[in-house]
Amino acid sequence: MSERRQTIVIGGGHNGLIAATLLARAGDRVVLLEGRDHLGGLAASEEFHPGYRTAGIDPDTTCFRPWVAEKLELSRHGLEFDGEETPIFSPAAAEDGRGLVLWRDPERARPELGDDAEAYARYRAFLERLAPFARRALDRVPVDLTEKKLADLWTLGRTAVGLRMLGRRDMMELFRVGPMCVADWLREWFSTDALNATLAAPAVFGGFTGPWSPGTNANLLLHESFTAPGVRGGAPALVAALEAAARAAGVEIRTGAPVGRIEIEDRAVRGVKLDGGETLAADRIAAACCPKHVLLDLVPGELLTLRLEHGITHFRTRGTTARIHLALTGFPAFACRPELTPARVRIAEGIDALERSFDPVKYRSYGSEPALEIHVPTLASPDLAPAGHHVLSIGVHYVPYELDGGWSEESRAALLETVLARLESYAPGIRSLVVGSETLTPADLERRYGLTGGQIHHGEHGLDQLFVRPTPECARYATPIDGLYLCGGGSYPGGGITGAPGALGAARML
């Protein structure tokens, strides 16, 4: 019997755990190395104030792939999906109406939408027709367009057939709207600006784009195609199930083990050297961390071709999201709908307001009315805070990585004050509930989580960086270094808590 292959996985976030488990179950002897003292990466729960814990830097699990959960048999380790969707509340200032509670289900949304209700039903019907094709076409290892391999040609043929089966009208509509800016497409459908902004947000949040930026509509189509009820218990429950699955598969997990260098000989990996000096041998390495960090920091520069070095250097990783956590003694009351206790809140009054939020970040600043994406994880997981208390996890868009004048304790405090003032205009009295907070700028996210540029997706989701990701040489997870693979959010099909890069990267290795 041949000796088992030795594989190292760098990074203990959800993608690293997924890749490690799949490789171990296929027979590899797998060691997972995580630089921090706990697993989970952006999905990890961490205490930010005594007695109050986050649900991760990225608490949104609504795009986590069910097929990944099934492949890993995560239900055996306690993973469950929510039985129904969580609506998104877009509040209005008290004098401006009742705001909007938006359901994906058009019938549940109908009472909120007025004259846009019928258009919303048609909009959802179009997306429902598109979603099966998108899932079949995108949740697979990208084909190699430079080779004439039968398997790749077969995959291309099946994709083309699936596209044609959309029907001529939907197929041509997909070709038309994919490259559009999200603002133009949504305004073709709806007249209500609050509805347009609520729908547009996922297409632009986390990127260096506003709603009028070309190509952003592709992000919306992809997001809508894969969104479903999230993981019960949120990102921390997902991490717990993934860790249990990895240990059950025999993965050796080492935390507090940052990798300082990938050992390479004759353009093939031989192992890694940890920051502490220890060397570990490996036949293959799967890196779930940022691809820029892997290829520019961990791999000796002389081993990269000029083309690859240029491509990875210019892979755009401009972070524009800050994360603020608030520890509250109670649930804030939104003036427009004080009876609601929403678990998800988006604050962006309209498309133009969203664009105005984006404008200052181009000049290393942020506006006085930033767009906010708020999760309240304590509604589903009350153990994250003392009884009756709550945690607000706020994605603040758009905040620059390089602030004009630099980030300091004073400038972080100014950002927190800006966000609190913004919240106070919708939920008067929220300041009196705050007993603790944490403010993480994109620069802080880079330092703490290894996100180059503070980019929460390990690379921007621009149209040119979605399908060839991160560079043409590495677009199918393998790199030009024999035995070195990428399997994090900087690889296809992108960032977020989806599990797809980890699972597809492992499939490519196998």
Q: Nearest Cα to 75, choosing from 239, 237, 241, 227?
A: 241
End-to-end CA distance of the chain: 19
Q: Please check the confidence at residue 478 and state whether its pLDDT lies above 70.
A: yes
DSSP 166: T
| 4-18, 150-164, 169-183: the lowest-pLDDT one | 150-164
Higher pLDDT, 97 or 186: 186
Rounded average pLDDT over 130-153: 74
493-506 residue pLDDT tens: 999 999 999 999 99
381-403 residue pLDDT tens: 999 999 999 999 999 999 999 99
322-348 residue pLDDT tens: 999 999 999 999 999 999 999 999 999
Higher pLDDT, 141 or 1: 141
Q: Please check the confidence at residue 154 and state whether its pLDDT lies above 50.
A: no
Q: What is the mean pLDDT of the chain?
A: 94
Single-letter amino acid, residue 168: R
Q: Nearest Cα to 112, choosing from 84, 89, 93, 86?
A: 89
Distance of CA 297 to the CA centre of its chain: 23
Rounded average pLDDT over 209-228: 95
pLDDT at 1: 37
Give the pair of three-digit tokens for residue 270: 């031989």
Please tell me the pTM assigned to this model: 0.94
Query: Do 332 and 433 contact (CB within 8 A), yes or no?
Result: yes
Q: Is 31 helix (H, G, I), strand (E, B) or coil?
A: strand
Cis status of the peptide bond prior to 480, with omega within 30 of 0? no
Q: Please check the confidence at residue 143 and state whether its pLDDT lies above 80.
A: no
Q: Which residues pair with 252 in a beta bridge?
A: 31
Q: Which residues pair with 81 in a beta bridge?
A: 231
Q: Which residues pair with 89 in a beta bridge?
A: 101, 345
429-439 residue pLDDT tens: 999 999 999 99
Q: Please check the confidence at residue 159 and state whether its pLDDT lies above 70.
A: no
pLDDT at 348: 93
pLDDT at 145: 58
Q: Please check the confidence at residue 158 and state whether its pLDDT lies above 70.
A: no
Q: Domains in the chain, please, with CATH?
A: 6-41+67-72+234-315+461-509 (3.50.50.60), 104-222 (no CATH)
Single-letter amino acid, residue 71: K
Q: Which residues pair with 49 in a beta bridge?
A: 52
Q: Which residue has the tokens 């393998």?
A: 478
pLDDT at 461: 96
pLDDT at 494: 95
The two beta strands, 268-274 and 259-265, are: antiparallel
Q: Please check the confidence at residue 490 and state whether its pLDDT lies above 90.
A: yes
Write the DSSP assignment of 370-408 as a string of letters: -EEEEE-GGGT-GGGSSTT-EEEEEEEES--SS-TT---
Cis status of the peptide bond prior to 366, with omega within 30 of 0? no
| 45-59, 161-175, 182-196, 404-418: the lowest-pLDDT one | 161-175
Phi, psi of 302 (to 5 degrees): -70, -10
Q: Which residues pair with 265 in a beta bridge?
A: 268
pLDDT band with cut points at 50, 70 and 90 for residue 459: very high
**Radius of gyration of the CA atoms of the chain, in A:** 22
Q: How many CB atoms lie within 10 A of CB 420?
A: 16
223-245 residue pLDDT tens: 999 999 999 999 999 999 999 99
Rounded average pLDDT over 74-93: 95
pLDDT at 133: 86
H or E segment and range at residue 164: helix 150-164
Q: Is 285 helix (H, G, I), strand (E, B) or coil?
A: strand
| 83-97, 213-227, 405-419, 482-496: the lowest-pLDDT one | 83-97
Distance of CA 157 to the CA centre of its chain: 30
